[in-house]
A and B are shown apart, each in its own frame.
Chain A
Amino acid sequence: GIQVEQSPPDLILQEGANSTLRCNFSDSVNNLQWFHQNPWGQLINLFYIPSGTKQNGRLSATTVATERYSLLYISSSQTTDSGVYFCAVGYNTDKLIFGTGTRLQVFP
């Protein structure tokens, strides 16, 4: 099956800093989504981005499907950005395979 690797596993930032999270996958996908899981366990869909670039406020994401990676950019980080960020992928399916996540801690 498809393997999904995320890096870095952990990230500690001061408020206001920028960061880039990476997701590598081992096979062709046409379904790639980024999620944020807050400290209370809620899993929020950030982007549905099988290819190209999207932006939503301080967050943006880019997927280069031909090179099998996706990047999530967080600018001007805030304490509320803390949590775990997951990348999840699939091919012709919405039965997604999740990576192990990047744990982000933002300090004031």
Chain B
Amino acid sequence: ETGVTQSPTHLIKTRGQQVTLRCSSQSGHNTVSWYQQALGQGPQFIFQYYREEENGRGNFPPRFSGLQFPNYSSELNVNALELDDSALYLCASTRGDSGVSPLHFGNGTRLTVT
């Protein structure tokens, strides 16, 4: 059983650019959640996708958007990058229709905005 995989591992972008991060969910999981972790802080919930629909959103502006595909993999898109978007972006998957369950994260994508 493969775990959650994220790509790329590292990324450097310039302020104002757009970025797409990718996440493959664990086998059998239909729910993907994205978190942002700034340096020295705990992860913060961005949004969650369940069966290709957004299923909850944290306190992030609309320039943070996402997609989930029929195979339950997901993308996080960030437009008009700002310096404060520099962070570790973490993806986790769960079997959403089984109720509350343990979160298992991928290794993350470290984004640097210059």
Residue in chain A with minimal CB distance to B90: A43
Residue of A41, A50, A88, A95 touching B48 (CB-CB under 8 A): A95
* Residues B104 and A92 in contact, CB atoms below 8 Å apart: no
Provide the bound-state CA to CA distance between A101 and B44, in Å. Answer: 13
* Residues B102 and A42 in contact, CB atoms below 8 Å apart: no
* Residues B88 and A94 in contact, CB atoms below 8 Å apart: no
The distance from the CB of A18 to the nearest CB of chain B, in whole angstroms, is: 24
Q: A41-B88, A41-B110, A43-B90 are in contact. Are A94 and B100 (CB under 8 A)?
A: yes
Number of A-B contacts (CB under 8 A): 57
- Max chain B Cβ within 10 angstroms of own Cβ: one of A35, A42, A93, A94: A94
Q: A93-B56, A95-B33, A95-B58 are in contact. Are A45 and B104 (CB under 8 A)?
A: yes
Beyond the given A94-B100, A100-B41, could you list 8 further A-B residue pairs with CB under 8 A, ordered by the A residue number?
Answer: A41-B107, A45-B104, A93-B56, A95-B33, A96-B45, A97-B45, A98-B42, A98-B43
Show 25 A/B contacts (Cβ-Cβ < 8 Å), sorted by A.
Answer: A30-B100, A33-B102, A33-B103, A41-B88, A41-B107, A41-B108, A41-B110, A42-B105, A42-B107, A42-B108, A43-B43, A43-B108, A44-B105, A45-B104, A48-B101, A86-B42, A88-B42, A88-B103, A90-B100, A93-B100, A94-B101, A94-B103, A98-B43, A99-B42, A101-B42
